[in-house]
């Protein structure tokens, strides 16, 4: 796995219309490139379980058509019900070991925000580990402190020794993509995929440029 890891954030897409229609339209634009990403994550922090499940079920056939693995955020139960390929959990969610016992068929990724959390996560042997925010980000209400490129490089070395792909996250855009590609297998992106607020124009082009720069 190398390149872009797009995160479809429901909250930032609400201004484009009804959540289900906006999410599918945006995801389609992200995937409709010459080089689709390996993974796509749905992030629905302020949506109820029913709405999130409906969105995941709507994304499932789209991702299958493009050969892209669909990842649910936070909720392994909804990932199973919607037949996702995996789930991404945070520090306050179920631990990787428990997710694996409850849903052994899921890929599991985990967020970490410092080297201590990273070391603990690597012992659980997740399918990938995310580290960040690398740069300042507006995608979270209460973000952890930025880790910067130096700590990201240290995290990458530790993850490579463990044989686990590292996902950099937080403030990643096209200008910073080359620096990220040198220090992580994947770059998770939300805002930089939406160059024109309130519009889907340019999404496919942004996704392709980021995929190339991060690969």
Averaged pLDDT score across all residues of the chain: 93
Give the lowest-confidence range in 22-26, 81-85, 122-126.
Answer: 22-26
What's the rounded Cα separation, in Å, for the pair 99 and 107?
10
Give the lowest-confidence range in 11-15, 91-95, 161-165.
Answer: 11-15
If you average pLDDT over residues 43-49, what whole number do you get?
94
Question: How many folded domains does the chain comprise?
Answer: 1
Q: Look up tokens 């686990």; give the residue.
A: 164
Check residues 201 and 94 and name the one with the higher pLDDT: 94
Q: Could you give the dihedral angle defined by the CA atoms of residues 121, 123, 127 and 130, in that order, rounded to the nearest 10 degrees?
A: 20
- In this structure, are residues 71 and 40 in contact, taking their beta carbons and an 8 Å threshold? yes
pLDDT of residue 140: 66
**pLDDT tens for each residue of 129-158:** 999 999 987 666 677 889 999 999 999 999
What's the rounded Cα separation, in Å, for the pair 202 and 188?
18
Q: Which domain holds residue 98?
A: 3-214
* CATH number of the domain enclosing 124: 3.20.20.70
**pLDDT tens for each residue of 96-138:** 999 999 999 999 999 999 999 999 999 999 999 999 999 987 6
């Amino acid at each position: 796995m190398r390149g872009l890891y797009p995160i479809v954030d429901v909250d930032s897409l609400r201004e484009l219309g009804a959540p289900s229609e906006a999410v599918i339209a945006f995801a389609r634009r992200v995937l409709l490139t010459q080089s689709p990403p390996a993974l796509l994550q749905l992030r629905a922090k302020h949506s109820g379980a029913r709405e999130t499940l409906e969105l995941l079920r709507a994304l499932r056939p789209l991702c299958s058509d493009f050969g892209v693995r669909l990842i649910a955020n936070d909720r392994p139960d909804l990932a199973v019900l919607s037949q996702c390929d995996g789930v991404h959990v945070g520090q306050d969610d179920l631990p990787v070991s428990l997710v694996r016992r409850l849903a052994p068929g899921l890929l599991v990724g985990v967020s970490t925000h410092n080297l201590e959390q990273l070391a603990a996560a690597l012992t659980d042997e997740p399918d990938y580990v995310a580290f960040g925010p690398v740069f300042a980000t507006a995608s979270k209400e209460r973000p952890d402190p930025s880790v910067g490129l130096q700590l990201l490089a240290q995290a990458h070395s530790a993850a490579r020794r463990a044989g686990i792909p590292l996902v950099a996250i937080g403030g990643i855009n096209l200008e910073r993509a080359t620096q990220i590609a040198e220090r992580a297998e994947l770059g998770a992106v939300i805002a930089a995929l939406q160059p024109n607020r309130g519009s889907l124009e340019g999404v496919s082009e942004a996704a392709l440029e980021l995929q190339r720069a991060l690969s």
